[in-house]
Every structure is written in C-alpha cells, then in structure tokens.
Amino acid sequence: MAKRIVLTFAVAALAAVGSASSAVAATPKSTDVTDLSLKITTAKLIVDGLLPDGIEVPGSDPTLAGKTINVNGTLSYGGKVSISPSGFDFPAVGLGDALPIPGVTADIVLGEASSTGTLNATTGVASVPLSLGVVLGAPDLGISCLIKGLNFNFTTGNATIGSTTLFGSPYSKSAGTVALTGTAALPNIATISLSECSIAGLAAGLGISGKPVALKLSGTATIGTSYKKPAVATLSGSASTTFKANGTSTGVKVKCAGTATTSRPCVGTVSVVVASKGVTVSAPYTAAPGKTVSVPLQFAAGQKASIRGSSSAANVSVASKLNISVDNGTGVANKAGTLKAAK
C-alpha cells in the first residue's frame, strides 16, 4: 500500500512538472508581439532632378560620423510589423548646395503609425509601408518646411530611379543584416501652405513636384525572444470625464492592462486638447502592466489665460478631448471630457 502511495505521488509530481514545462514553452498567439529594432548604419536618398546621384548618410559629413538611423517597433508572432512615429529617428542631413539657400538641413520623419508591414523571420523577406515626411530647416535663417506624404513601401527587393538601382537584401537571422529599399513620389509642392513651409514658393520653383524618390536603408535588425500581449492603456477614475487644471498642472490617471508575465508595458503620450481655445498640452508616460500612473500635464500661464478668457468665475469649464497614445499598442483616442480651470 505504501509503495502504491509513493508511486501515485511520483506520477502526480511528474505530471505537474510536465504541465509546468508545457505552460512555459507554450506557443505564443499570432497577435503577441516582441521588440523589433533596426539600426541603420547607411542610408542613400535619390531625388530625380534634384539629387540624381544620391546623398548618403552618414557619408563624408563629419557631423554625422558614428550616428545611426534608429527604427524601433514591434513584430508579432504572426510576422506583422508595427512602427510608431516616435520610433523613427533620422539625423538631420546637410544638403550642401542642392538648394539655392546654403545651410539647409533635411530631417526625415515618420508622419503616421505603420501597422501593416510584414517580416518573415525564416525567409528574411520584408515589406514595410512607411508614410514619411521631410523637414527642411535652417534655424538661423528662420526656414522651416515640412513636405509630407511620401508613401514608401520598403521591401527587401530592389528599387530603381532612372538609371540608378538600389539593391535590397533579406534579413539574415545569423548575421542580423538587412537592406530595405523603397520608392515614392514627391507631392505637389505648390499646394503646401506657408504655415507648414515658409519657403513653399522657392521649393515649388525647384520643379520637383511629383518627382520620384528612392531611399535605401542598410543595417542590422534585432528581434526579441519573448512574445507578449500588446500594451493596452485606458483612463482610470474620474479623469475619464473631468480634468482639473489647478495652478499650472493637472493629473490624468492611466491604467495599463494585463500582468507582467503576459503583457507588455504601456509607453506613450497623454494629450489634452481644448480645440475652442487652441490649446494642447501633452506629456509622456510609462506604466507597467497591471499598474496605474498619474501623468502630470503642465499648463503655461498663457494657456491657462486662454482657457479662462475674460471670465471672472472661480472655475471655468471648457469642452476638451483626451488622447492616450500607446507606442505599438492600443489606447483611448479623442475621448470627450471637460477641463476645469480654477483661478
């Protein structure tokens, strides 16, 4: 009888160990995500009619020596790539004499989040659509110009502009190397407003509207090994209906869903928008899964005065919207609410 009891406990213990092992080694869901990081060490940009031979980053520019272009996002277990605007970091590049104004730099930015890209980690084949913009600037001359709407579809294949071909290459799991290439067309520069581009007239005179553009990004990719549920952030408490701006700040509570073992942390931005007063206040936040954080939003004196207007009341309430963005996750977008500004 004693032997039977011992044997029973042994079988139960082995079963428990087997269950625990299978739980740890459970296959992630296709929607679970891990970190994806691209460190681009070389980029080449070709603009037909303006930069036909291309400009390279870092190239020979000493101010760019050692700098990289960093693209950070997530990769789902199913192969979907997501990249948020804050995850795209491209250093400003001097254009030399490409423009008739000296000292102008170009900075490439990601205009909107991309969530429909794919990467097959086995074959290395990738396709990543990115809507990019170019910021032309010369602070000393008061020049600022945003040319947006360059819709690229980067792939690991080749891209050709005129007689120049940029060669891509699949992601190598062993070496981590990858080369992405894509083409787009410049928008109609004449339609850009002066509020977005102070040199719109000059830019339009360059005759590059509609010209094809090619961009090659070469470097290494790092893929995480732990797949978890995407981050989900929601409003917590009374902040979902009323935001109070006492003094110069207000706190908005953000709750990150899930647990540390199953979900990713929430990282993003909280913004309160008072459209009727032309006031927007934003602040970044980070919250661990299952935790709630209070995000302080600082209101400048001028912003508060704009919100209150000529009112002499102790408290002034204005309609506002609250937006919680989550890098590569899900948050509350444009939730209507009321902002109360006290004297």
Which single residue is written with the structure tokens 């995500």?
Answer: 33
Residue 61 has pLDDT above 80, yes or no: no
Cα–Cα distance for residue pair 93/63, rounded to 1 Å? 9
**Angstrom distance (rounded) from CA 124 to CA 75:** 13
Q: What is the C-alpha to C-alpha distance for residues 62 and 67, in angstroms, rounded to an integer?
A: 10
Of the candidates 227, 228, 243, which has an alpha carbon nearest to the alpha carbon of residue 279?
A: 243
Q: How confident is the model at residue 233 (pLDDT cuts 50, 70, 90)?
A: very high
* 222 confidence band (pLDDT: 50, 70, 90): very high
pLDDT band at 190 (very low <50, low <70, confident <90, very high): confident
The whole-number average pLDDT for the span 322-340 is 90
Yes or no: say if 237 and 201 are a contact pair by the CB < 8 Å rule.
no
Please name the amino acid found at residue 243.
F
Q: Which range has the worst mean pLDDT, 73-87, 219-233, 303-317?
A: 303-317
Distance of alpha carbon 42 from the chain centroid: 20
The predicted-structure confidence for 248-292, as pLDDT tens digits, reads as follows: 778 889 999 999 999 999 999 999 999 988 899 999 999 999 999
- In this predicted model, which residue has the larger pLDDT, 153 or 314? 153
Q: pLDDT digits over 92-136, tens only?
A: 776 655 555 666 777 889 999 999 999 999 999 999 999 998 887
Output the pLDDT for position 50. 67
Tell if the pTM clears 0.85, that is, is over it: no
At residue 66's C-alpha, the angle toward residues 63 and 69, to 5°, is 95
Res. 16: pLDDT tops 80 = no
* Spatial CA neighbour of 45 closest among 147, 117, 115, 172: 147
- pLDDT at site 14: 36
| pLDDT over 50 (residue 49) | yes
pLDDT, residue 326, reads 93
The sign one gets for the Cα dihedral 322, 325, 326, 328 is positive
The tokens describing 310, both together, are: 């000529």
Give the pLDDT band (50/70/90) at residue 205.
low
Token pair of 315, please? Answer: 């408290």
- Higher-confidence residue: 42 or 81? 81
